[in-house]
Chain A
Amino acid sequence: MNNNFIRNSLRFILLILAQVLIFNHINFLGFVNPYPYVLFILLFPIGDNRAMLIICSFLLGITLDMFSNSGGMHAAASLVMAYSRPWVLRSVFGVAYEYNTIRISNISFTERFIYITILVLVHHFVLFLLETFNVSDILYILKKTLFSGIFTLILCLIFITLFSVKRK
């Protein structure tokens, strides 16, 4: 438990620093920025308290909002993502989820891919909807969601592969 707490706090700080100092300044093609800080929500221990995840996601988002002067957009997007995580887990992993036996580093690539894709798209859609704040620009929102989503997805997959400890 204690070990878990330290690991998650470290992840929180490192992901925010990486996001703020590096990934907010990528501006690929002028407008595409990845948001790999969502890894925190993706990797949050599955068996743990759901309320804890919601509060942590809010803190994660609002810290990012503070750095990027964006009001509460990241906080709202992270909240929606954190709140919908159990349903996505259940629909992707089925029975394994009910028995709390999943570790993100141990599951098959396809399942991991689907799990990350759905949650990242949810997060990015809410984020860009709130950033644009205009439903008539839906095509622009979808375009940004798609491009940034692919970017984030690739980074997340790379990070998980690089930093996961295989336990056989």
Chain B
Amino acid sequence: MQQILNILIKYRNFLLFFVLLLLSLFFTIQSHSYHRSKFVNSANFLSGGIYTSLDDVSSYFDLKIHNDQLLEENNMLRQQLFNTLDTVTVRQDTSTFTGTYKFFKARVINNNYALRDNFITLRAGRRDGIEKDLGVITSKGIVGVIDQVSTKFSTVVSILNSNSQINAKLQKSGHFGILEWDGKDPNIVELVDVQEKAPVTKGDTIVTGGMSTIFPEGIGIGTISSFQLDASENYYTIKIKLFNDMTNIGHVYIIKNLDRKEIETLEEQTRDEQ
């Protein structure tokens, strides 16, 4: 017993180092898998508060760009509104109209794009109605999926994250694939597992597919910049130039699918019965 104690005392620094190293490796490994219960994240009062006070100052620098973006979006929406007015004759009573999707707005207070696994921190949390696994978009295209939520803040798994996997399709033909990121260029993402029969041409638009309950169908992602068949020659790997400038995001919208619970319960029932 005495000897064991002596050894413990002799190597106490090493043991301390080893235990803490194991702990941090545990956190690291956890952060590399998508479905995790993270203890260490930036959606808390300390980092959220510090990022908010930084954003209060730095948001003025991007004001002009963000105003232009909003103007552009307003312009586009106005165009849609007045061009559909002629064809729609029956006005809907908006007070009873709920729809499938609910939108929330949020400010980006921290955004990374130079790492392998990038996260975005938003100034909107549980009290604003944000939940885990909601889709995040801007007026131009998709941004990511909500990960951790606290009372006032939330983190987003950016599409520039090696764990991010989003269902997407070719707008023209509707062939599906999975959107991934190879960790290099923040303007380029990859669409993999697209069937070799799909008619792929440079410059085609890629939009979100309707296969998941996170994003509605048809939200813009980007245009095809290049493509090639993979090693087995059965699937295309397509490089996509994003519509969004991921390095400069100010305001985002968060989409909540109100039918989601119903769809998920139904799918689970079907799976259980099989």
> Once the chains bind, are A66 and B47 in contact (CB under 8 Å)?
yes
Contact with B along A47-73 (1 / 0, CB 8 A): 000110011001001100111111111
In whole angstroms, how far apart are the Cα atoms of A72 and B40 in the complex? Answer: 8
Inter-chain contact B42/A61, CB cutoff 8 Å? no
| In the complex, A20 has a CB within 8 A of chain B | yes
Q: Is A132 positioned at the interface, with any CB of B under 8 Å from its CB?
A: yes
CB-based contact B13/A54 at 8 Å: yes
State which residues 99-134 of A face B: CB under 8 Å.
130-133
Residue of B nearest to A50 (CB): B13
Residues of B near A83 (CB, < 8 A) are 13-14, 17
Instruction: With A72-B23, A80-B21 as known contacts, state yes or no: A27 contacts B54, CB within 8 Å.
Output: no
Chain B residues within 8 Å of chain A by Cβ, number: 41
A41 to chain B, nearest CB (A): 13
Flag if B28 contacts A66 (CB, 8 Å). Answer: no
| Contact (Cβ within 8 A) A67 B13 | no
| Dominant SS among interface residues on chain A | helix
Contacts A72-B26, A73-B28, A133-B32; A21 near B54 (Cβ below 8 A): yes
Interchain CA distance A131-B32 in the complex, whole Å: 9
Is residue B114 within 8 Å, beta carbon to beta carbon, of the partner chain?
A: yes
Min CB distance A95 to B, Å, is 22
CA distance A17 to B46 in the complex (A): 12
Distance of A68 from chain B, by nearest CB (Å): 7
Bound form: Cα–Cα A75–B41 in Å: 14
Known contacts A20-B50, A27-B114, A80-B21: A72-B12 contact under CB 8 Å: no
Asked if A69 contacts B113 (CB within 8 A), the reply is: no
- Residue A76 lies at the interface, judged by CB distance under 8 Å to chain B: yes
Q: Is B119 touching A71 in the complex (CB atoms < 8 A)? A: no
Contact of A131 among B14, B50, B115 (CB under 8 A): B115
- Does the CB pair B27–A65 fall under 8 Å? yes
Interface presence of A79 (CB below 8 A): yes
Q: Which residues of A contact B (CB under 8 A)?
A: 17, 20-21, 24, 27, 30-33, 50-51, 54-55, 58, 61-62, 65-73, 75-76, 79-80, 82-83, 130-133
